[in-house]
Amino acid sequence: MVTESERALIRRRSVTVLRQNWREGIRSGDRLAFGYTRPSPRRYPWQWYWDSCFHAIVWRRFDRSRARCELSSLLAAQRSDGFIGHTIFWDRPLRGPRRYTYNVLSPHDPMTASIQPPLLAWAWRIAVGDPRAEPRIARHHEWLAAQRTLEDDGLLWIVAPDESGLDASNQFDAIWGREAHGLPGYLGLVRRNRRLSFDLRRVAAAGGPVCCEVLTNVLYNLSRLALGLPSLTPALVERTYDPSRGLFLPRSRPAPARTPATTIAALAPLALPDLPEEIGRRLVQEHLLDARRFWSPVPPPSVAMDDPSFSVTDRGLLGQRRYWRGPTWLNTAWLCWMGLVRLGYDEAAAQLAQRLAGAVAAAGLREYYDPRTGAGMGARDFGWSSLIVELTDPDLDAARTSFLPV
């Protein structure tokens, strides 16, 4: 079990990192006020969509006004048609090499032209209140439904790997090939998507690839449920669940030549409150709790350890960062923990919290962790790793309104 001293240390470190990473101001061009938590002070200076949602969820424990401000800043940056970009630059324009690798139409754009997993409504439900009372959130979902669906099932599709938030995840190697994130061909993917204005239907018509990615749709569905909209869980099961393997896998156009790698995205549906129980139990018993696959000393790794592509090396041949290829991340660990709690695997949920807490206590709030040793990796003072508080000191009220059956 997590000790009281570990719990107190984790809370202190979490609030310290959130406070030191906080930025606020007024954008000079349009006088819009903003306030957000930088994911990490040096490497990530701007506002990232899903990072802010996770930050707000933890901020509610320490300062509810900052939780609201964080999410309201995403809405302040919203275009009139409801679109909210992956990254918002506020008063720090895009400069340097990132002008060539970021999904912008112009280096002068105030935010990217690409999305990230749309969990704003769900985060608002946990950290602020009823998202149905904020019309801009409904407008955001109207844009997503109109612009990012390809079929009549309501599931979202992405036009680039990083729209999933999982960047260089091994699952995309089979879909984007040499154009996957962090590989030399990725610059060509960015240029092509710019030419097509990151328009899903234009990209699909030009031959893609485009992808119906599982984690993106899990978080989108949690937001839909928070808004009282019909659940996409049945469609997600029908379109992406492989009953022969007991796993969820991404779909793509064109279809990949080989089966995508088994990654943490395959287990993300555990967070869905209406996931059929038999599917959830297969995900837990056959995959999550298998010590050869995801139940590592510091679980769960972002790729199954028995997958040939698993690696804790986070650098490419040219020194570029390649994320989500093996190390453990706190946000996806939290999603798995939700499933363990919901399905009654209390001992496993406690073990997951304890193992992650030990890594955070030893290494601090790092971007990700070695799943075998617990060594901290990536950026330091990483904001959303404060989600460890949600595992070590669960908020049952939030749990009841977000991921546990009522």
List the one residue out of 371, 379, 325 whose CA is nearest residue 352: 371
Q: What is the pLDDT of residue 336?
A: 98
Query: Which secondary-structure segment (H or E) carries 120?
Result: helix 120-127
* CB-based contacts of 370-373 (< 8 A; 24+ apart in sequence): 370/298, 370/312, 370/327, 370/328, 371/296, 371/297, 371/298, 371/299, 371/300, 371/301, 371/305, 371/312, 371/326, 371/327, 371/328, 372/296, 372/297, 372/298, 372/312, 373/297, 373/298
Q: Decide: residue 149, CB within 10 A, 0-12 exposed, 13-18 middle, 19+ buried.
A: middle
Rg (CA), the chain: 19
DSSP 381: S
Say how many C-beta atoms besides its own lie within 10 A of residue 26's C-beta: 12
- The candidate with the shortest Cα–Cα distance to 50, out of 248, 242, 215, 226, is 215
pLDDT at 257: 87
33, β-bridge pairs: 26
pLDDT, one tens digit for every residue, the chain (406 residues): 888 999 999 999 999 999 999 999 999 989 999 999 999 988 899 999 999 999 999 999 999 999 999 999 999 999 999 999 999 999 888 888 888 889 999 989 999 999 999 999 999 999 999 999 999 999 999 999 999 999 999 999 999 999 999 999 999 999 999 999 999 999 999 999 999 999 999 999 999 999 999 999 999 999 999 999 999 999 999 999 999 999 999 999 999 989 999 999 999 999 999 999 999 999 999 999 999 999 999 999 999 999 999 999 988 777 778 999 999 999 999 999 999 999 999 999 999 999 999 999 999 999 999 999 999 999 999 999 999 999 999 986 666 556 554 3
Q: Does the global pTM surpass 0.95?
A: yes
Quote the pLDDT of residue 405: 47
SS (H, E, C) 175-200: HHHHHCCCCCCHHHHHHHHHHCCCCH
Domain 4-402 CATH assignment equals 3.40.50.720: no
What integer pLDDT is reported at residue 375 of this predicted model? 98
CA atoms of 84 and 194, how far apart (whole Å): 17
Half-sphere exposure of 348 (CA within 13 A, CB side): 24
The pLDDT value given to residue 392: 96
Q: What is the pLDDT of residue 317?
A: 74
Cα gap 385→18, rounded to integer Å: 10
Contacts of 376 (CB under 8 A, 6+ apart): 359, 362, 363, 364, 366, 369
pLDDT score recorded for residue 406: 36
* pLDDT at residue number 403: 59
Element (H, E) at 37: strand 33-37
Please give the DSSP secondary-structure letter assigned to residue 284: I
Q: What is the reported pLDDT for 320?
A: 79
Q: What is the enclosing helix (H) or strand (E) of 33?
A: strand 33-37
Position 318 scores a pLDDT of: 72
CA 86 from centroid of its chain's CA atoms: 11
- What's the first-to-final CA gap in the chain, in angstroms? 27
Please answer whether residues 334 and 387 qualify as being in contact, where contact means their C-beta atoms are separated by less than 8 angstroms: yes
